[in-house]
Structure 1
Amino acid sequence: MTGQLSFPRQHARTQRFTLGAPRALAVAPDDSRVVFLRSRSGTDRTGVLWVHDLAGQREYPAADPAELLAGAGEELSPEERARRERSREGSAGVVGYAVDTAVERAAFALSGRLFTTDLPAGTTRELRVPGPVVDPRPSPDGRHIAYAAGGALRVTGADGADDRALAEPEEDTVTYGLAEFIAAEEMDRSRGFWWSPRSDALLAARADDAPVQRWWLADPAHPGQKPAEAAYPAAGTANAEVRLVLLGLDGSRTEIEWDRERYPYLARVHWSAYGPPLLLVQARDQRSQLYLAVDTDTGRTSTVHVDEDAVWLDLFPGVPAWTEDGRLVRIADEGGARVLMVGDRKLTSGALQVRAVLDIGTDDVLFSASPGAGAPLPEQPGEIDVYRAWFRGSGDQGGWEPVGKRPFPAVHSATRGGEVLALAYTGLERPGVSVEILRPADHGAAERIAEIASYAERPVITARPELLFAGKRDIPCAVLLPSGHREGDGPLPVLMDPYGGPHGQRVVASHNAHLTSQWFADQGFAVIVADGRGTPGRSPAWEKAVRDDLAAVTLEDQVEAVTALAERYPLDLGRVAIRGWSYGGYLAALAVLRRPDVFHAGVVGAPVTDWRLYDTHYTERYLGLPDEQPEVYAANALMTDEGLSGAAETARPMMIIHGLADDNVVAAHTLRLSSALLAAGRPHEVLPLSGVTHMTPQEQVAENLLLLQVDFLKRSLGMR
């Protein structure tokens, strides 16, 4: 990358330096190959399916969209666009794939067409089936491919023969085999069907969004176009009706039964050879959930386990699942800690905050975790490691050990197949992601047998965050000063750069995570990223402290962080700004409206301004139902804030940015806030982005957004 390219342009062109990096890894159970996605360069948006042959130590492309489409552009169906928006997927080409048990056959959709790949041979062919195809998945034995198309769940032979529909929608509002909005956006369930381990049947979600209220999203830049209809389940309103059916390849159909009125959320489905199908269903208030085993002959379910929590219950990747000997694997909040459970046995303690289950072996569980509240405070925050814990056999000591841990703080994730582990990690010492293929040994040792190269661009700047804990609550923070800043240069204007809310950990031991903050610092700011209460990775109590009070709690921790850090760093507390997107945008607006004594300007991106306009599963987890707790919704909204009617001399400059095509945080949030500010005589700027969703993948838009924010902040803080 030449020095002629600015960081904002490079950051936009590389999609935040994710292009060219290996991702979506799968390891064959016989340790023969690793499959992954990667584009051909750090500026190429087109994902290619690759195979790394471990025996032959060679790497080859197995499916290249440029060849498969013969140079033609992609055509995406509305369903595929929705899937990509829910997963925040901004690249093109092969963006996802699924494999059979042996990791010999892969299937993927490209431009709405179905392709299947023989992975050992590295050859790909198209199967001519009705489309547009969404989420194709091979059967465990590799002989069939199931996929969603036109609201139906269909299946075809791996050779393209005998294509047929297993279930077709009875109404226009019904789909089979697709995740509904809430599952994909908030429950981290992007799938809508699951193969039986014997490859003779599928469990399929049937979603009917007829009960869901309709919103109309118009593009004001194109008044001749009709508004797009969106079924949006806002807080307190009806969700889609979700059922589960068992569909045999022989044409049989069995309805799965559970108390859907009491437990309407189908959160997880697991079906392996080690037990009956396993469901996790949640109550609407998310304070109770059932683990259910399915009788595939009758469709009836029986309760395996019940979780209850007075605040809320979280959902976690990789669980629930069965061990090979039929024990339930789950993650639970017990005794003030987030722990790993196998059957009735607790495998971890408060020393770890378990985050996800990555793989379940014959006698161990592979999982990721952060230091827990029961451990001494680490030297710095932000580390996530991979561990394995034993639940039986000679290693059954009731303990755990790190796997592939780096000698420096880093963020790790892993995929395992057989005895081989694909370990991906990012650290502070160098940019980008590294992927090593390891063969673990006893006591945490591991032999590196291969490495997957990254083609990601090297950033034109270097992030230099200092990670530390601040304030009486030991709030995890990252502090970034201008490159070349020296002691004695004088106090710096401050820019708080948080997400600051649930599910959004920003203070991590990863170089690239801090690049944008460093660029802002290089414009003359001391930048602070603070992960206050409500953010993940610390303890259940830390995350759940925001119940019924998102606004006051998260804002209080931003104030505490900047005040405490001023005792250690050269911060000019007379010039403090804040910027954020999504929840961070909400937090930025809160800051300038409620605490103008601390915050002197705010960049407010795609903010939630009235929680009654945000979706059910997310909002009700933290604030309950609006009809039952109207005072809670009022206290956490921006438009009812007493700061709107404050004295003119305390009004702080605010730039509000919103994509008009956003179907997650709709533009009505910003428009209502702007109207309320105008009525109160509060000066502000609004930057509408035509055709932009909750993401900003367009290169020029993403670049100019950074430049415009810096210009606004410098003007507002008198830095010119």
Structure 2
Amino acid sequence: MYRITCSFLFLIGFVFTVNAQDKKLSLEEIWDGSFSQERLESLQPMANGTEYAVQNYNRTTRDVSVDIYSYKTGEKTKTLISAKEIPGLNYFQTYEFSQDQQKALLSAELEQIYRRSSKGVFYVYDIVKKQLQQVNDKAIQEPDFSPDATKIAYVYENNLYVKNLINNQVIQVTQDGKKNEIINGISDWVYEEEFSVVQAYQWNADGTKIAFLKFDETQVPVFSMDMYGTYPNQLYPTQDVFKYPKAGEQNAKVSLHVYDLEKQSLTQVNLQKKYEYIPVITWTQDANLLSVQAMNRHQNKLDFILVDTKKNTTKTILSETDKAYVDLNDQLNFLADNSFIWASERDGWNHLYHYNIKGKLLKQITTGNWEVTDYYGYNANNKTIYYQSTENGSINRGVYAIKINGKNKRALAAKAGTNYADFSADYTYYINSFSNAETLWQYKLYKTKTLEEVRVIEDNAAMKEKIAAYNFSSKEFSTMTINGNDLNMWMIKPKDFDASKKYPLLMYQYSGPGSQSVSNTSSNSNDYWYQYLADKGYIIVCVDGRGTGQKGADFKKITQLELGKYEVEDQIAAAKKLGEQSYIDENRIGIWGWSYGGFMSSNCIFQGGDTFKLAIAVAPVTSWRFYDTIYTERYMTTPQENPSGYDDNSPITHVNKFNDNNHYLLIHGSADDNVHVQNTMQLIEALVQANKNFDWAIYPDKNHGIYGGNTRLHLYNKMTNYILKNL
């Protein structure tokens, strides 16, 4: 008895000692990069199949280089490009190889335009001849090599150009480009944001033709943002003016054109039908055959069209329809025989299909109640397709190989967590990037055929040791049955959690259509913030409700025509159910979110004020009437067709329900080109006129991400203090 008691006391003393030594986390550490993990940056496989290229920066010599490494040994075999060794080039920011990897396109002086677009000064470096050639002395957009690397196309001031790299002759393909009116070869704002398209032109297989889109923005309404500048350099604000089509308003009129370099002729393609959107153009292996994905305005029908540019004829070979909407096919891949791989949700889950060039289905390659989340490629030598999917659980990602006939599936990397793969050019090797909630990012090289581990490239061991000193709480995954559905959930508890005590609860969510916030992957900055809050005595929870992704089309598309209805119902119901737990204080439940998540947290505090005591909304949509056509109408149709869907579920409609005993913090960047600060200003005015007490903050000249300088730290300090004071 005596020895047992002593051992017990020793154990208690040991626990107290360990806890006393736990390092305390600060907000400054979270946002100054202290927890940044080592990653593989700009890795590109070399054509020989045995090597890969990585862009490096030497802090001592201040040299930017592209270095070549052996897959097998990991040793650097040579430096392919060194900025210091190239006369006339002090540095470069990005690189891109030509198809034969004999030339590289180097960028400098890049200037961000919107989320995905930029312009800059570009150079072509001939790796064999060691010669540098500037593409243009002006800042240009989206330069791209022809297949034989003798030419380069680019866009300057909304016009498409082609430069002959042999004789330096430049051809201006279009003449009518003009800001806020006509765009050639690059996309408008809404295509860039919602279709992830910036470069809107493509070379054909032999470099004799370029297909491109033209956007006529003339009738699109204008949006403007004041830019306030910095004191004392700017006395008067400037104005950023651009075309932004809001729900129900005019889109740009888009048309398809083909430029024949040999004939120097420009032809507009007649698609035979009027389409609202042409988001994807892809040349087939046939230099005269162009494929086009075109959609109606509701985006519930997608036609896959082949254009014979020699005969000037078109044929629709495949159509996808859905009662809600059809997702764009970003996994399209034409094989050597011009058959193609196609992704579709037609059986209720996103899967891969194999078609011949006439549109005849050859085989559904993958099948099951899980989603294909990425397509890596096709190895013609062994007729094998490589892909990523959720077949090891909806919160996980695994990498698999399968024959094109749908047989002989193999798991290449299916450990619980998040797996990605980067394959060598001949698929002999692959680098498995892996992490889960308990494991920092690891990069390991494997042989594809035998799955033999060749070597560990990076395992973030130093960061793992550093993080161990904090003794962070685990992220616990589970499911919660809400409104008849098993919803994925994670929870972070204080590390000294005591089930006999009651804790305040902060819920985080995003909730947008097809999104996923509950995933088994390594911690990001927000996760460390949640650890900070957990250390202050809060339980943090995230629940992916109806409308989110990776659980099938029916689960995802239930929110159609009523964004904010089922999602809000699920968050309120989840909060109530969590409040029933003995260790959660049902009177101290808060919720926060950013963008769509801000839309949600606003709705929750207004409509669920008896459940939530506090909400924080960052850059929220406050009415879908303010948001863009492509995203909003995909899920809601137009406000003219569906006024109740827009108004019944928008926060701005429910301000009168806000309980003054609750706490609401509203935050926005004034230069948000995506979710305009107009959303917040209109909501502020509605709350003021309803005489509601709330808090708000505007970050001048900051975009949707609200970052730059000390901004992100200030934002999280503000939110942290608000939570500590009011929840």
Q: Common fold, TM-score beyond 0.5?
A: yes
Letter in 1 for 2:241: E
Distance 1:647 1:708 in 2: 22
Aligned length: 670
Deviations 1:297-333 (A, max 9, x none): 14432111011111111124322x3222322321111
Distance 1:636 1:68 in 2: 59
State TM-score, norm by structure 1: 0.85
Relative distance call for 1:633 and 1:416 in structure 2 (3 A) is farther
Please name the residue that 1:107 is paired with. 105
Mapping of 1:484-563 within 5 angstroms? 484-488=495-499, 490-513=501-524, 514-563=527-576
State the structure with more CA Rg.
2
**Seq. identity, %:** 20
Relative distance call for 1:594 and 1:413 in structure 2 (3 A) is farther
Mapping of 1:116-515 within 5 angstroms? 116-117=124-125, 125-158=132-165, 161-172=168-179, 173-219=181-227, 224-250=236-262, 251-259=264-272, 261=274, 263-273=275-285, 276-319=289-332, 321-343=333-355, 344=361, 345-362=363-380, 363-371=383-391, 378=393, 381-391=394-404, 396=405, 398=407, 400-405=409-414, 407-415=415-423, 417-428=425-436, 432-441=440-449, 445-448=451-454, 451=457, 460=467, 462=472, 464-472=474-482, 473-482=485-494, 484-488=495-499, 490-513=501-524, 514-515=527-528
Please name the residue that 1:90 is paired with. none
- SS for the counterpart of 1:590 is helix
Relative distance call for 1:716 and 1:68 in structure 2 (3 A) is farther
Q: Is the Cα contact below 8 Å between 1:333 and 1:540 reproduced in 2?
A: yes
Distance 1:290 1:110 in 2: 39
- SS for the counterpart of 2:665 is strand
Please name the residue that 2:693 is paired with. 683
Letter in 1 for 2:75: R
Q: Is the Cα contact below 8 Å between 1:21 and 1:456 reproduced in 2?
A: no
Please name the residue that 1:715 is paired with. 725
Distance 1:215 1:390 in 2: 50
Deviations 1:499-548 (A, max 9, x none): 11124311111122433333332332111111111112111111101111
- SS for the counterpart of 1:433 is strand
Distance 1:12 1:50 in 2: 30
2:69 pairs with 36, 43, 52, which one?
Answer: 52
Residue 468 of structure 1 and its aligned partner are, at CA, apart by: 1.5
Q: Is the Cα contact below 8 Å between 1:26 and 1:36 reproduced in 2?
A: yes
Letter in 2 for 1:451: I
RMSD: 3.2
Instruction: Single out whichever of 232-241 and 103-112 deviates more from structure 2.
Output: 103-112
Relative distance call for 1:126 and 1:6 in structure 2 (3 A) is farther
Q: Is the Cα contact below 8 Å between 2:258 and 2:266 reproduced in 1?
A: yes
**Unaligned segments of structure 1, at least 5 residues:** 75-92, 373-377
Residue 678 of structure 1 and its aligned partner are, at CA, apart by: 1.0
Residue 162 of structure 1 and its aligned partner are, at CA, apart by: 2.6
Residue 293 of structure 1 and its aligned partner are, at CA, apart by: 1.1
Distance 1:589 1:69 in 2: 56
Letter in 1 for 2:185: G
- SS for the counterpart of 1:639 is helix
Structure with the bigger RCO (C-alpha within 8 Å, sep 6+) is: 1
Deviations 1:545-600 (A, max 9, x none): 11112212111222233344456672222101111110011111011100011111
1:12 pairs with 31, 35, 52, which one?
Answer: 31
Matched, 1:573 2:586: yes
Letter in 1 for 2:412: V
State TM-score, norm by structure 2: 0.84
Deviations 1:318-375 (A, max 9, x none): 22x3222322321111232222111212111123211232213322322221139xxx
Please name the residue that 1:655 is paired with. 665
Distance 1:48 1:694 in 2: 32
Q: Is the Cα contact below 8 Å between 1:21 and 1:39 reproduced in 2?
A: no
Q: Is the Cα contact below 8 Å between 2:364 and 2:406 reproduced in 1?
A: no
Please name the residue that 1:82 is paired with. none
Distance 1:510 1:22 in 2: 17
Distance 1:40 1:382 in 2: 38
